[in-house]
Amino acid sequence: MNCDQAREMIPLYAARALPEEDGAALIEHVVGCGVCQGELVETMRLTHELRKAFAQFPGPPKGAWLSVAARTLGAPLLRVGVGSEIAGLTLDVGATKTGVPIMGTLSILGREVPVLRI
């Protein structure tokens, strides 16, 4: 491994997102390279400080996401459609004050027929 490859892997290693075998190769390189060793130490320190800082922020209050969804007043959150001009199926996920409904509509020759509502 060369220093350029090591520098690409260091942030992934610090984020605990590097596969074990790549991590072993990185450590093997870092043991013999003072420059990369310093970069790894500094990246690990910064990662630790960022995690510590973000841990101090309070999370959203309980039910915040449902409240946000309720404020959309039935606005669609997601729409997936499959088909052609002749026939198709559409699934909608929306948000209302009472929940998150899932609706399915079958369309045949331009006429829509509701087939699912959860």
Same domain, 91 and 48: no
Q: Is residue 80 part of a domain?
A: yes
Tell me how many domains the chain contains.
2
> Both 44 and 14 in a single domain?
yes
Shared domain check, 98 and 78: yes
Residue 50 lies in a domain: yes
| 9 falls within a domain | yes
Give domain status of residue 61, yes or no. no
Q: Is residue 60 part of a domain?
A: no
In a domain, 36, yes or no: yes
pLDDT digits (tens, 9 = 90+) for 95-105: 666 777 788 88
How far apart are alpha carbons 73 and 71 in whole angstroms?
5
pLDDT of residue 3: 96
pLDDT digits (tens, 9 = 90+) for 43-96: 999 999 998 998 888 877 877 776 666 666 566 677 788 887 788 888 888 766
Instruction: Please check whether residue 60 is in contact with residue 69, taking contact to mean a CB–CB distance below 8 angstroms.
Output: no
Q: Are residues 18 and 45 in the same domain?
A: yes
My answer on whether 13 and 43 are in the same domain is yes
Mean pLDDT across the chain: 85
The Cα–Cα gap between 102 and 93 comes to 5
Structural domain span for residue 9: 3-55
Would you say residue 38 has pLDDT above 90? yes
Q: Which residue has the higher pLDDT, 21 or 114?
A: 21
What 3-state class would DSSP assign to 106?
Answer: strand
pLDDT digits (tens, 9 = 90+) for 4-23: 999 999 999 999 899 999 99
